[in-house]
Amino acid sequence: MDITILGIESSCDDTSAAVIRNRTLLSNVIASQAVHQKYGGVIPELASRAHQQNIIPVVDTALKEAGITIDKVDAIAFTRGPGLLGSLLVGVSFAKGLSIARNIPLVEVNHLEGHILSHFVDMPDREIPHPDFPFLCLLVSGGHTQIVRVDAPTKMEIIGTTIDDAAGEAFDKCAKVMGLPYPGGPVIDRLAKEGNPETFKFAKPHVEGAYDYSFSGLKTSFLYTLRDAVKENPNFVEENKADLCASLQKTIVDILLDKLVKASKATGIKDIAIAGGVSANSGLRNGIEAMGRRRGWRTFLPEFKFTTDNAAMIATAGHYRYMAGELSSLEVSPVARLQDL
């Protein structure tokens, strides 16, 4: 029997809706919010207001592009958290209202699990390789950096996490110090291709957790390097921007891969995936592929359109939970923090 899922994603500053049938993607619509760029970061109140404006046309467009009507949807999957509470509230409330109006079951989804399961979105025109269970997923985004052991679509264990800043946060904050536009990660990635990654050396953390991360020391090291150099040469950043970006990117990738290698050795797992916004970074993608060749890994990189927040991954995660009979109550509330899910 065909199972059709409508996915709704509103955890941060992208309003997205998608339709999948038996994990095959029929539509994936995303409305991004350019309003935050001039502030150098996402403004929660502006984000939630934009979601309110976008969600109805986005869902309507997703259904039309999929060629279905709402009465053909078997379940509505929505992001419950983590994320910005006001943004989540818009998506959760809309999903509830649609559920009541059309008597359609609800399925709540952990946003981070959605990123991981983006590797299982099937395309209508081609086959995409999927990792086998169990596999390890390095989840890297602006707010989270984790190594997750995935034993099944609904059975995941975080075995490593950041104790302070996330990798994406390190990229964005260091970019801001250099005067680069927001979001800084893609700009650093572009400039890094023009620079020498061996020019500068930045601090690499040593944390107690076997697979845990820390990026606050790296940010401090980067800041001090710029502060001291600018005292002697006010044009230092402009003259060395490409090399700074290349060196910073290499350091972050080295930190990420070091713990991932340790986790693979300890678990014996050699199917390795990456997910999240930072998985679009070319240095990380090239680095994990090179490491995979050396260590005999099967590596899985998400398509670029699935690295950012999107509803296709939410619908896919919802598909698995629906098939497992894990339906959500109308009493459910959005949750901002991962530990509260």
Helices (H), the chain: 44-66, 85-102, 111-117, 167-177, 184-192, 216-232, 236-267, 282-295, 311-323
| DSSP β-ladder status, 75-81 and 135-140 | unpaired
Query: Which residues on neighbouring strands pair with residue 300, listed in sequence order?
Result: 273
Cis peptide preceding 44, ω within 30 of 0: no
Residue 95 to residue 106: CA distance in whole angstroms: 8
pLDDT at 16: 97
- From residue 84, alpha-carbon distances to 32, 62, 171 in Å are 15, 23, 20
| DSSP β-ladder status, 135-140 and 106-110 | unpaired
Q: What element of type H or E holds 268? A: none
Can you state the angle between helices 167-177 and 216-232, rounded to 10 degrees?
10
Q: How many Cα atoms occupy the beta-carbon half-sphere of 44 within 13 Å? A: 9
Is 127 in a helix, a strand, or coil?
A: coil
Reported as a single tens digit per residue, the pLDDT across 169-184 is 999 999 999 999 888 8
> Tokens 């992001």 map to which residue?
79
> Tokens 């940010």 map to which residue?
219
What average pLDDT score do residues 226-243 get? 95
Nearest to 78 by CA among 14, 5, 15, 7: 7
> Residue length, the chain?
341
Residue 12 to residue 31: CA distance in whole angstroms: 12
- The chain-wide mean pLDDT, for the chain, equals 93
What are phi and psi for residue 230, nearest 5 degrees?
-70, -25
Give the predicted TM-score (pTM) of the model.
0.94
Reported as a single tens digit per residue, the pLDDT across 96-147 is 999 999 999 999 999 999 999 999 999 998 888 999 999 999 999 878 999 9
Tally of CB atoms within 10 A around 47: 24
Residue 47 to residue 159: CA distance in whole angstroms: 32
Residue 188 to residue 167: CA distance in whole angstroms: 13
Confidence class of residue 50 from pLDDT cuts 50, 70 and 90? confident
Tokens representing 88? 């989540």
Tokens representing 28? 């994936």
| DSSP β-ladder status, 298-300 and 271-275 | parallel
Reported as a single tens digit per residue, the pLDDT across 280-325 is 999 999 999 999 999 999 999 999 999 999 999 999 999 999 999 9
